[in-house]
Structure formats: C-alpha cells, structure tokens
Amino acid sequence: MKLLSAVLIAASFFALPGCKKNDGTTTTTTTTTNFDPTKATLLKQGTFGGNMGYTVSGSAKLYDYQGKKYIYLENFTSSGGPDLKVYVATTATASQFVSLGALKSNSGNQAYEVANPPDFAVHNKILIWCQQFSVLFGQSTLQ
C-alpha cells in the first residue's frame, strides 16, 4: 500500500502543469467593451510571432485614449498555458518589464491599460510570458 501511495504521489508531481501546450486552457473570445480603438489614436503597432513551438498570432497596438495609454491585442490567438501574463519589455528575455496582468483570454481582441507608461521607445516589446516558469510564448515589437 505504501508503494502504491508513493507511486501515485510521484505521478502527481510529474503531471503538474508546466509551460507547455495545454489544450485545457479556456479559449473563449474576449472583447473589452470600455476601450474603443476607433476613438483612440494609434501610436505604434507590431505583429506577434510564437516562440519554441508556441503559437501566438495577431497584432499588438499602442493607443492613446483620453490621455491614457492602452495595449490592444487585435485578432489575437495564443497557445494555452498556465500563468500567462502580458508584459511590456525592453527585450524578449523580460529582464526589464512592466506587467499588464494576466492574459484575459487566449483568443480575441483585448485591451490593457498601462497605468504607469514606460518609455515605449525602449519598452517596445509586448510579450506573452509564462511567469510561473519564465517562458516566452510569443512577442510583438512595436514600431
């Protein structure tokens, strides 16, 4: 009985989720209703690309809307995974970044207010980042 318990505990440990393709993640479409890109000023934009076999597509756009800065993910899709965050960073390694919080959904248009905007000439990368395991899923460079 102790051997069976030990095997089950070991199996549970190795079955913990990592930042790998995860088809169990919610894939519902999200549209942010309090931000209207047609009424905002587009400042910069870029196209997403995936990393290490993860699929990330769509575009990232930086808008000014009523004096506030927003990152808008448009026609966005991403592989699922645990603890995915949206970062504004200086490099793809996320050594210097501003976290915009959890990824709202891995598909659909979504807006993130940048409360304390960094210098977007330097912080020009939008990352989809697995914070728990420090893994880059995809990035877009704002130009």
DSSP structure string for 54-70: --EEEEEEEEEETTEEE
Token pair 């807006």 is found at 111
pLDDT for res 82: 94
> Residues 26-62: pLDDT tens digits?
333 344 458 999 999 999 999 999 999 999 999 999 9
Could you tell me which residues are beta bridge partners of residue 128?
Answer: 86, 138
Tokens representing residue 116 in the block:
């304390």
Cα separation of the two ends of the chain = 61
* Global confidence as pTM: 0.79
